[in-house]
Amino acid sequence: MSELTIGTLCLIASLILIQTGMHIGIALMLLSFIGVWAIKGILVAGKLLASSVSTSIASDAYAVIPLFVLMGLFVSSTNMGRDTFDVAALALGRIRGGLGMATVAANAVFAACTGTTIASASVFTKVAVPEMIRHGHTPKFSVGVVAGSSVLGMLIPPSVLMIIYGVIANSSIADLFKAGILPGILLAIAFCVTISLMASWKPASVVIDVKALEKSYRGPLEGASASAIILKFLPIVILVGTVLGGIYGGFLTATEAGGVGALAALLIALARREMNWKVFWNVALETGRVTAAICFLLMAAALYAQMLTLSGLPYTVGQWLQTADLPFLSILIGYLTVVVILGCFLDSVSIMLIVLPFVIPVFESLGVDLIWFGLITIVAIEVGLLTPPLGLAVFVVKANLEDQNITTWQIFMGTMPMTITMVIILALCVIFPWLALAPVGVSWSWW
């Protein structure tokens, strides 16, 4: 059996094993070990396995993982998500479809503190969905907006997916954070435009009674003083400004920003009197569990990348693409289509760990800027978070719903306008690379 065949079989087998329910890290390590064994022998396979465990994450740069996880968990353990929603609802509640827009705006701000879709979906399912339904919005629209806007957590920095991509692609995590800000804001605005169009052209899809669109939202901050409103919103502004301002201003590296953000989040939680020893201990334990899981996945990815390199599969595919003289756009569309399809069956981390070690050398040989490539990859993966049968954001919303009469299929149908909007933004990011690269200070284009 040729080395190329071994690499191909391991790639296919990884998809099959993960679909059967095997843990992604175990599947990749097992197949990588078997693949290297078949190519170079068991002695080399054993040495590479030991090396991936002992050296693949032995760098100070990986400290960014637990620090941003810790910051996100501190924020999630407080009521900052509810306060952000209340302020956004007060500002936008008088606009047609404003409550849905407020959910998007609050999710965008909250995403800049947590970095995960799961946290955003969990918080706003409990905060925003009951409020929207109480004010006459259809259940399908309410859950669709929450699930759709929750994916902003993976795009607006800091993002766990960006950190994982930066490690796999050996790219600057700070540059990836910078690259995500314009597309993230653009996507949030596009979601709001979509909601406005739905409320104007097809109000029956937004509210049960069209008259509900004419009513102003009256939330807990209605009639509150300016100082009370500022106090509600000030903590999250301080946190976002400290972390992202430090990175974009060049004062902090990504790792330093994570440490400063974690400390700021802790101090804010203490000042709000929402942190006690029990909550702190639970946050610390969860940070350890999440960090250990991510590090194990990265070790598996390192061994998997070495196996693919030994098999020569990425080099062979890259050479074939160059000699086939295919248009770059055709290659890119094919890749993004595969990523979206995989998102229908796999979670986002699994897609990155399986696909990126294979495709990054291919696209790097084509002269692609890896920061831009990472950005469009993450957006394509986010589309998969909303598509059946395994849209992770959809199932997180379903698990946190108070009203269990809302079905999973209703949530999928509710996210459809958001999914279409994301595909449009993905197309814009592909056509105009400067959307991602301008904040990084890089001038590059594929056309």
CA atoms within 13 A on the CB side of 215: 13
Q: Is 359 part of any domain?
A: yes
Chain centre distance of CA 276: 29
Angstrom CA distances, 227 to 90, 117, 242, stand at 14, 31, 21
What's the pLDDT score for residue 375?
92
Number of independent structural domains in the chain: 1
The answer to whether residues 110 and 236 touch, using CB atoms and an 8 Å cutoff, is: yes
- As a whole number of Å, the CA-based R_g of the chain is 22
313 inside domain: yes
138: phi > 0 → left, psi -120 to 50 → alpha, else beta; which? beta
Q: Per the domain annotation, does 80 fall within a domain?
A: yes
The whole-number pLDDT of residue 187 equals: 92
Q: Do 292 and 337 touch, CB atoms closer than 8 A?
A: no
Q: Return phi, psi of residue 121, to 5°.
A: -65, -40
- The single-letter code of the amino acid at 212 is A
Residue type, 47: K
- Assigned domain for 97 exists: yes
Residue type, 308: L
What residues make up the domain containing 331?
Answer: 3-437
Strand partners, 207: 137
d(CA 381, CA 168): 16
Has residue 442 been placed in a domain? no
Residue 385: enclosing H or E segment and its boundaries? none
SS3 state at 388: coil
Among residues 112, 87, 399, 129, which one has the least CA distance to residue 224? 87
Would you say residue 445 lies in a domain?
no
CA 143 to each of CA 369, 398, 401, 404: distance values in angstroms, whole numbers, following the listed order: 36, 9, 9, 12
Long-range contacts of 398-405 (CB under 8 A, 24+ apart): 400/121, 400/122, 400/125, 400/126, 401/125, 401/129, 401/143, 402/126, 402/129, 402/130, 403/129, 403/133, 403/139, 405/139
DSSP 240-283: HHHHHHHHHTTSS-HHHHHHHHHHHHHHHHHHTT---HHHHHHH
Dump the DSSP string for 194-223.
HHHHHHHH-GGGTBSSGGGGGSPP--TTTT
CA–CA gap between residue 53 and residue 51 (Å, rounded): 5
CA distance 188 to 416: 16
At 338, list the tokens. Answer: 């595969």
The answer to whether position 444 is within a domain reads no
On whether the CB atoms of residues 99 and 132 are closer than 8 A, the answer is yes
- Tens of pLDDT along the chain (447 residues)? 788 888 888 888 887 887 777 887 888 888 888 888 888 888 888 888 887 777 767 777 677 888 888 888 888 788 887 787 778 877 776 777 778 888 888 888 877 777 677 777 777 787 788 878 877 788 888 888 888 888 887 888 778 888 888 888 888 888 898 898 899 999 999 999 999 888 888 888 877 766 655 666 666 667 677 787 788 888 888 888 888 788 777 788 878 888 888 898 889 888 888 888 898 999 899 888 888 888 888 888 888 888 888 888 777 877 777 777 778 888 899 889 888 888 777 778 778 888 888 888 888 888 899 999 999 999 998 888 788 776 777 777 887 777 677 888 888 888 899 999 999 999 999 999 999 998 888 888 877
Count the residues in the chain: 447
Which amino acid would we find at residue 356?
Answer: L
Residue type at 87 in one-letter notation = V
In a domain, 265, yes or no: yes
